[in-house]
Structure 1
Amino acid sequence: MSDGSDGKAERVVRRGRPTGDRAAKRAELLKAAASVIAQEGYANASLRRVAQRAGCTTGAVTYYFANKEELVTALAESRFDAYEAMLEAGRATADIRAVFEEWLTLITGDPEFLPVMFQLLAHARHEPAFAALIERRYARYRQANTDILACGQEQGVIRDDIPADLLSDQLSAMGDGWMMMYPFEPERFTPERLRSLVDAAVTLISPVSPPAGSKPK
């Protein structure tokens, strides 16, 4: 009669430590999770479906992420990391257009970026712990954006008749609105129209010119 040790040893072998670059494998699994969420919705993004999309076993997924919540949390963090990296483009020079250009590159280079963020924000409404993560990372993003805008105001390249934090909220609201509607009306958000929207946003936050013929104060 077997004591089960052989079966246990077999399980250990099957679930042994994966070989290769850990960071690269995590990134591959996050990409697979994003693809499933974008195409099939958050509710259908089980670890099994992510494993299938990545071409690996569910056990390989659970080696890096204990459960779906841990996987989704890592995905959200990676998305906000991308936002913060985007802001670095304009931090040194207070060039808000450069920030927008990086944003365009981000979302046009990855057509799943906006649908995934939409799904994650919708999920956060029903998960307090996940909502707290979104709130914390959004606050960091808005503050960094506010700092860039405030610097631009000091340099005279951003309108200063509206506080920088309000401008940051307005820009965030516009971006969130585009993200919300993208899954429903993707035809409205062609690369050309997105660029036009960005140009309009830059115009809205540019210094206000005095009316023609008016005398300077």
Structure 2
Amino acid sequence: MGRSVDHEARREIFAAAALRVIMRDGIAGLTVREVAREAGFTTGALTHYFHSKDQLLIEASEHSSTLVRERMERAEKVRPTFEAIRRVVALALPLTPERRGYWRIWVGYWERSSYDDDVARVMRLRYDEWRSRLARLLARAQAEGDVAPDVDPREAAESLIALVDGIGVQVLLGVGRIPPARQRAMFDLWLETLRSGSLVGTGSRSR
């Protein structure tokens, strides 16, 4: 009798290999042949699980999200919540080569989501999760007295996502000189405006 195959474990191996390929070679380097080689399997073994580049891209994103999610969940438990927010956002900013690799995946996702419904669906789910995490943390910080009472946590979360996305794209494309220290300073400036409720676009509840 032939050996049984743990299909979930095999998919995980291919997902991790796809992630390594993207982080090393970008979306353009993501091919069935290259992922199979990286995983140490034949292309036939890989195509048993994935039939297109977009399926591999989705699986690589799922794998990277699992890794980042675990780190963010640990950071979210930190008190005071202002410090938890700093740690969570630091995990999203392109502060290290590894995180810039994750940004290569995300930017590739943006491009492919414009014509692939499955990729667009997964991207929306990722943004929903990210938005909810930030809004939850901002509401907690507000309850602790570190965020002004007239700040809407949900709208503040949208503003923060726009800031992080803007930094990420500029760093990845090399169109802005934003080293890690500058990235942190930009975020800290944004965060400090929440204490007074002066952040533009947070949607004051008094309106």
Q: TM-score, normalised by structure 2?
A: 0.75
Q: RMSD over aligned Cα, in angstroms?
A: 3.2
Residue 35 (structure 2) pairs with residue 75 (structure 1): no
Q: Distance in 2 between matches of 1:162 and 1:129?
A: 35
Check the 8 A contact 2:76/2:88 in 1, yes or no: no
Please report how far the alpha carbon of residue 48 of structure 1 lies from its aligned counterpart in structure 2 after TM superposition.
0.8
Q: Distance in 2 between matches of 1:127 and 1:95?
A: 38
**Mapping of 1:52-63 within 5 angstroms?**
52-63=37-48
Residue 153 (structure 2) pairs with residue 164 (structure 1): yes
Residue 196 (structure 2) pairs with residue 208 (structure 1): yes
Structure 1: any 5+ residue segments left out of the alignment?
A: 1-12, 211-217
Higher alpha-carbon Rg: 1
In the alignment, which residue of structure 1 is the partner of 2:108? 119
Residue 134 (structure 2) pairs with residue 149 (structure 1): no
Higher alpha-carbon deviation: 123-132 or 66-75? 66-75
Q: Distance in 2 between matches of 1:105 and 1:147?
A: 17
The 1:109–1:96 alpha-carbon spacing in structure 2 relative to 1, beyond 3 Å, is farther
The 1:128–1:97 alpha-carbon spacing in structure 2 relative to 1, beyond 3 Å, is same
Letter in 1 for 2:76: G
Q: TM-score, normalised by structure 1?
A: 0.72
**Matched residue SS, 2:147:** coil
Q: Distance in 2 between matches of 1:138 and 1:74?
A: 17
Letter in 2 for 1:208: S
The 1:209–1:49 alpha-carbon spacing in structure 2 relative to 1, beyond 3 Å, is closer
Deviations 1:60-89 (A, max 9, x none): 323443443332222222333345334422
Please report how far the alpha carbon of residue 126 of structure 1 lies from its aligned counterpart in structure 2 after TM superposition.
1.4
Please report how far the alpha carbon of residue 168 of structure 1 lies from its aligned counterpart in structure 2 after TM superposition.
0.4
**Matched residue SS, 1:158:** coil
Residue 87 (structure 2) pairs with residue 98 (structure 1): no
| Identity between Structure 1 and Structure 2 (%) | 23
The 1:65–1:17 alpha-carbon spacing in structure 2 relative to 1, beyond 3 Å, is farther
Residue 126 (structure 2) pairs with residue 137 (structure 1): yes
Letter in 2 for 1:178: I
Q: Distance in 2 between matches of 1:74 and 1:148?
A: 28
In the alignment, which residue of structure 2 is the partner of 1:195? 184
Check the 8 A contact 1:152/1:158 in 2, yes or no: yes
Structure 2: any 5+ residue segments left out of the alignment?
A: 199-207
Deviations 1:138-185 (A, max 9, x none): 112211211111111111112332200010001111111122222211
Q: Distance in 1 between matches of 2:68 and 2:161?
A: 12
Please report how far the alpha carbon of residue 132 of structure 1 lies from its aligned counterpart in structure 2 after TM superposition.
1.6
144, 154, 173: which one pairs with 1:184? 173
Please report how far the alpha carbon of residue 113 of structure 1 lies from its aligned counterpart in structure 2 after TM superposition.
1.3
Please report how far the alpha carbon of residue 190 of structure 1 lies from its aligned counterpart in structure 2 after TM superposition.
2.7
Residue 36 (structure 2) pairs with residue 51 (structure 1): yes
Alignment size in residue pairs: 193
The 1:92–1:35 alpha-carbon spacing in structure 2 relative to 1, beyond 3 Å, is closer
